[in-house]
Amino acid sequence: MFEQAIACVEGYLGDNPEIRETKNGKTIVSLSVGVNKSVKNSKTDQWDNKTQWYKVKVTKPSLVEKVKKCSKGAYVRAQGNLEQDSFEKDGNTVRYVEVVLSGDGATFSFRNKADSKEESKN
């Protein structure tokens, strides 16, 4: 039986894609995707927008080339595996979750601010 946690994030890029290469020459692209959520303030009876940020890591070669065309503010849709990881900072373990686009089921589409059409998903 094959089990996996799949996640889809739709929102806006907070910055240009961060592109780096591993020692083995594999390209990895990191994205920060902001998703706006409206929450009603019970005291003022007004709607407040809250932005939640999600990490997306792209390693699938066909999607890496597509993601490189994105720019800050682009509307993106990323679907991939939900993965947990951690790192050490100042003697503390920092845990995080990110959407990783690496396998056959991974999809990505985007629309830059200046573009009128959406790029294809695969």
CATH number of the domain where residue 60 is located: 2.40.50.140
pLDDT at 119 over 80: no
Q: Is residue 119 included in any domain, yes or no?
A: no
- To which residue do tokens 């920092």 refer? 94
Per-residue pLDDT, averaged over 5-34, amounts to 95
Q: Is residue 118 included in any domain, yes or no?
A: no
Q: Is residue 78 included in any domain, yes or no?
A: yes
Our count of domains for the chain comes to 1
Q: Is residue 84 included in any domain, yes or no?
A: yes
Q: Is residue 103 included in any domain, yes or no?
A: yes
pLDDT tens for each residue of 23-61: 999 999 999 999 998 888 888 888 988 999 999 999 999
pLDDT value at position 109? 95
pLDDT tens for each residue of 56-83: 999 999 999 999 999 999 999 999 999 9
Q: Is residue 96 included in any domain, yes or no?
A: yes
Q: Is residue 1 included in any domain, yes or no?
A: no
Paired with 37 in beta bridges are 50
Range of the domain at 16: 6-39+46-111
SS (H, E, C) the chain: CCCCCEEEEEEEECCCCEEEECCCCCEEEEEEEEEEEEEECCCCCCEEEEEEEEEEEECCHHHHHHHCCCCCCCEEEEEEEEEEEEEEECCEEEEEEEEEECCCCCEEEEECCCCCCCCCCC
